[in-house]
Amino acid sequence: MKSKDIRPFIPVKELAVSKAFYEALGFISDDANEDMSVISNGTCTFFLYQAAEINFDAGLMFQLSVPDIQAALNSIQKVKNIDIRYEPIKEERWGKIIYLWGPSGEMWHITELNR
């Protein structure tokens, strides 16, 4: 599978405080919704999300942007002899997504964004 970008989701205690911190460092924030912001600077981009309680034992989430979601799904489906957990392609207003969980519970949002 080809990839284009990785964007982690980072839990925060207070979204407004975290946004202000990253903006002070020169990042730009764009609210995705009331509980999540996209933080970027050049090619570096990640998400901040409001967490009711932060527990790093709960795992992490990442976004992997791909040019062809069907090719990504084909690659996932070809995996043999490994217990793999994923959900099929879902259509969203912004593109398509596959949810994939790694062996330690980390969650990947494999996405093909609209052009």
pLDDT band at 57 (very low <50, low <70, confident <90, very high): low
Max mean pLDDT among 6-10, 18-22, 87-91 falls in: 87-91
Token pair recorded at residue 106: 């980390």
C-beta atoms surrounding 36 within 10 Å: 15
Domain boundaries, given as residue ranges, for the chain: 5-113
Helix H or strand E encompassing 20: helix 15-24
pLDDT (0 to 100) of residue 56 = 55
Mean pLDDT of 99-108: 78
pLDDT tens-digit series, residues 16-42:
988 987 887 678 999 999 999 999 988
Q: Residues 6 or more apart from 10 whose CB is under 8 A from it?
A: 46, 47, 48, 49
What is the structure's pLDDT at 87?
96
Q: What is the mean pLDDT of residues 46-70?
A: 81
37 vs 49: CA distance, rounded Å: 7
Report the pLDDT value the prediction gives residue 8, as an integer from 0 to 100. 87
Superfamily of domain 5-113: 2,3-Dihydroxybiphenyl 1,2-Dioxygenase, domain 1 (3.10.180.10)
